[in-house]
Structure 1
Amino acid sequence: MPLILVGLNHRTAPVEVRERLGVADSKLPETTSALRSIEGVDGAAVLSTCNRVEAIVSTRDEDSIEAIVDWLAETASTQRAELEKHLYILRHGDVVRHLFRVASGLDSMIVGEPQIGGQVRKAFITALDLGTLDSVLTQLYEQTMRVAKRVRTDTGIGEHAVSVPYAAIELAKKIFGDLRGLQVLLLGAGDMGELTAEHLHQQEVKQVFVANRSFERAQELARRFDGAAVQFDRLDDYLAGCDIVIASTAAPHYVVEPQHVERALDARKRRNLFLIDLAVPRNIHPAVGRIDGAYLYNVDDLQQVADANLTQRQQKATAAEQIVTREVDAFRKRLVAQDAVPTILELQQRLEQIRAAELEKCLRNVGPMTAAQRAAIEMFSTQMINKILHYPILQLKYMSDEPQERESLRRTIRKIFGLR
């Protein structure tokens, strides 16, 4: 049964195309069911993230590809010719390899990023709950998750931060260990500062305080992190109470001076204070980094950590690709063998019928014989049939990935041996 994948991603389509085709979580069941309802589609799942949208199907033949592309164009409310410029169409073993790589983080914008594995799982779980997965896609889903887990376990590809916000989290953990129970102060509303605060919130910090020149903007951001908005002019009070400070304002001057940090450390009884300066120009005076108990990192420091980790990840990606290659080959062989089972069983039954009928004729003509003699003739005829079947069965078990080639071989063997 052919496997087909039609999709686009961050390499083939700009964001304005991806967002037109993107599927909200609330719409995923409806969209998956619509894909399954296309003529010729036996199983269906839809993977939609900010970086990719992919329709994954098992079909009776490849004729359904045209209908799937039409459906995607209709879903995106765009002309088919315009959408086709950005689409890729994968078939059979290439679908297996692609999904194994995607779930393992090898096809991501940031190699090894961990979120994609959960997103792939959600896509298939949704389809499973809807009943739109057939046996082939169910096996593909289960094996994809096993391969993704093996890649991460065996290579450690996702262990080190490769983005500035994640690098900040990694450094914070080196200073404090467990981040739960810590308090965070976000100064300003820069995009990278927001993202870092969001990651810290996901680490279950105790509280996130947001200070901004616009108190309304501070309140808006605080709601995102289940935090609290504070007045910017109360900076000293919150520096003393917080363990991590993220500075990301548009101010053209320093907003955190050494005397601010000295007072905060005295109030904290010299407990460590971790300061992340993501602003350009910088918001935190560099002299703060020379104060005992204050750990200051600016955006360049964090980028160096991320770049070093990215080099490590790229090295681990080579080992991960080798795992994927072996797993794809094993899964392909399993699917081909399963596909061949009905023909192999019919072939064995047909030749066994011929053997049994011809043996009876032979035994009637030979006349009386001992049990040992009869057993020897039985053994001889059985072994002969097994020898005759050996190469046809091998060919069926190790057929090509291409469904048309497999079907051609099946028909040839069935014709030669008189199978219906």
Structure 2
Amino acid sequence: MLICLTASHRNASFDLLEKLSVGAPSVAPQLVANSDFIQGAVVLATCNRFEAYLDVDEPLTAGCALAAREVIDAVSAASFVDSADVIDAITVLSGDTVAEHLFSVSSGLESVVIGEEEIGGQVKRALQTARIEGTTSSALERLFQRASHTSRDVKTKTGVGGAGRSLVRLALELAESRVTDWAATRVLLIGTGKYARVSLAALHERGVTNVTVYSPSSRIAPFAERLSVPQVFTPGLDAVLAQSDVVVAASQSPTYVLSAAHFTAAAARPNALERRLVIDLGLPRNIDPAAQHLPGVELLDLETISLHAPIDEFKATTSARAMVDEAAAEFTAARVESEVTPAVVALRGHFFDVLDAEIARARARAGDDAAASETEAALRHLVGVLLHTPSVRARELARAGESESFVSALDALFGVQPAAAAQVTPLPTIVPVLPAASALPAGPGAGLGRTGTAARDDNPPRTGTAAAS
């Protein structure tokens, strides 16, 4: 059974999402290795959501609830967030709704900016990471591959994402009222990853030509050379910051890249600009929030940007939602059909076993000649034709939730029983989560789906300069 634990900008604060993004993405190998229920795990962590997709080898609701509890405990420990705060912010989906949710997410329909371009690639990279870590499963592979296919269809066949929507571009649109002339604007770009590349492209679209890139990672040199932008190293950072009108931070660093002290030092340099706009697209934050209280510093972070995200203009079209619903329905149908496959295999095996036995007896009596071979080919074709309608009917019954009637008919008519007949189990939409294993009650526990805001304030503060781009 597939389940999904999801926390996003819709039901969690950016403070909590930031904390989850630091340590939680690393929990998948631990969960798969140590859990009695979790057979596969893929973690999706972006700037506005944290989600864990699990393949749980347990058809009972209690098994899914225990698996959800294990994930919450592991995420809580890795992120230094109280488990009660994680529970308040996370919704747990199961069964058929998991596919619909992921397909919608990968198509950009659940993003801060509807139709954003980056999420499709982030979903692909989440699956690639799971492959590298050995935590994926065949069910999760099918789910994520279908999600990527659906995302491509939505992008190419509907208007969603047609305008090249992204958080980067939305942030720059918000900055329009603060920037007089983009062509004369000096920009300091922080980061060398994909988001930094997207940011640089968006800046160039607005006519920016004076961009300097900074990152303490070793990737800065090839990044700067490949994209033909000058680079600055740590000793010269304050000087460049002092002369920058706009700072765009798009690094994947787990620690602050620029602290309040950097801005103070920059402001104290000769001929330093009096004002600068700082756009922080990082999660975790790249810029120390204390910097926004300094004179001349205006900070736009993800939380601020999300508050200005347009709703009506970029709302998903009806056709995009319909495509996601159709893809999810087809994925569910394929899953349900697979549950009747053992019965179909048993039926075909029975018919062909009888046929093989009769052909063997015929050959023993008449010998092996050309006529016998032609007769055998004709009989095999006939059996295949006769089995076509029952096979199709079996899939139809499975889709209607009546696979058991097909299995019963095989037993009644032919005495055939599938080797491992799977039953269609009704799948709940919301999985209840159980308390810690040491205090499990007899009942299923409290359901998830509540909305939470802040995590604990005792999370160790992040300081220092990043070592990653």
The TM-score by the shorter chain falls in which range? 0.5 to 0.7
Q: Per the alignment, in what secondary structure is the counterpart of residue 54 of structure 1?
A: strand
Partner of 1:286: none
Alignment deviations for residues 323-369 of structure 1 (CA, whole Å, 9 cap, x no partner)? 2223223333444455554543332122111234356779999x99x
* 1:57 and 2:50 matched: no
Q: How far apart are residue 126 of structure 1 and its match?
A: 0.8
Q: What does 1:277-292 align with in structure 2 at a 5 Å threshold?
A: none
Alignment deviations for residues 372-417 of structure 1 (CA, whole Å, 9 cap, x no partner)? 7996798578636743562255324762498xx76x5675466452
> Which residue, 32, 36, 45 being the options, matches 1:36?
32
Partner of 1:313: 314
Alignment deviations for residues 201-247 of structure 1 (CA, whole Å, 9 cap, x no partner)? 863643369xxxxx999659869599995779958xx89xxxxx976
Higher relative contact order (CA 8 A, sep 6+): 2
> Does the CA contact (< 8 Å) of 1:336 and 1:397 recur in 2?
no
Q: TM-score, normalised by structure 2?
A: 0.54
Distance 1:207 1:381, change over 3 A: closer
Partner of 2:357: 357
Larger radius of gyration: 1
Rounded Cα–Cα distance in structure 2 between residues aligned with 1:389 and 1:218: 72
Q: What does 1:7-406 align with in structure 2 at a 5 Å threshold?
A: 7-15=6-14, 17-20=16-19, 22-24=20-22, 28=25, 30-37=26-33, 38-63=35-60, 64-75=63-74, 76=76, 83-158=86-161, 159=163, 165-167=171-173, 183-184=185-186, 199=199, 203=203, 205-207=209-211, 229=266, 234=271, 310-314=311-315, 316-337=316-337, 340-358=340-358, 379=378, 383=382, 386-387=385-386, 390-396=389-395, 399-400=398-399
Q: Per the alignment, in what secondary structure is the counterpart of residue 90 of structure 1?
A: strand
Q: How far apart are residue 56 of structure 1 and its match?
A: 0.6
> Does the CA contact (< 8 Å) of 1:42 and 1:60 recur in 2?
yes
> Does the CA contact (< 8 Å) of 1:35 and 1:44 recur in 2?
yes
Counting aligned pairs with the same residue, the percent is 20
Q: How far apart are residue 98 of structure 1 and its match?
A: 0.9
Give the AA of the match of 1:66: A
Give the AA of the match of 1:313: F
**Structure 2 gap ranges (5+):** 189-197, 214-237, 251-257, 279-295, 297-304, 420-469
Partner of 1:191: none
Rounded Cα–Cα distance in structure 1 between residues aligned with 2:92 and 2:399: 19
More helix by share: 1
Give the AA of the match of 1:117: G
- Measured on the aligned residues, the alpha-carbon RMSD in Å equals 5.1
> Does the CA contact (< 8 Å) of 2:247 and 2:276 recur in 1?
no
Alignment deviations for residues 69-126 of structure 1 (CA, whole Å, 9 cap, x no partner)? 2223313256766644443232333211111110111012321222322332222111
Q: Per the alignment, in what secondary structure is the counterpart of residue 7 of structure 1?
A: strand
Rounded Cα–Cα distance in structure 1 between residues aligned with 2:30 and 2:187: 46
Give the AA of the match of 2:186: V
Aligned residues: 329
Partner of 2:234: none
Q: TM-score, normalised by structure 1?
A: 0.59
Rounded Cα–Cα distance in structure 2 between residues aligned with 1:394 and 1:97: 26
Partner of 1:259: none
> Does the CA contact (< 8 Å) of 1:40 and 1:60 recur in 2?
yes
Distance 1:356 1:382, change over 3 A: farther
Q: Per the alignment, in what secondary structure is the counterpart of residue 135 of structure 2?
A: coil
Distance 1:346 1:311, change over 3 A: same
Rounded Cα–Cα distance in structure 2 between residues aligned with 1:328 and 1:35: 27
Alignment deviations for residues 120-142 of structure 1 (CA, whole Å, 9 cap, x no partner)? 22221110111211222222222
Q: Per the alignment, in what secondary structure is the counterpart of residue 55 of structure 1?
A: strand
Distance 1:207 1:383, change over 3 A: closer
Rounded Cα–Cα distance in structure 2 between residues aligned with 1:57 and 1:317: 30
**Structure 1 gap ranges (5+):** 187-197, 210-214, 240-244, 249-282, 284-302
Q: How far apart are residue 156 of structure 1 and its match?
A: 3.9
Q: Per the alignment, in what secondary structure is the counterpart of residue 24 of structure 1?
A: helix
> Does the CA contact (< 8 Å) of 1:336 and 1:399 recur in 2?
yes
Q: How far apart are residue 168 of structure 1 and its match?
A: 5.5
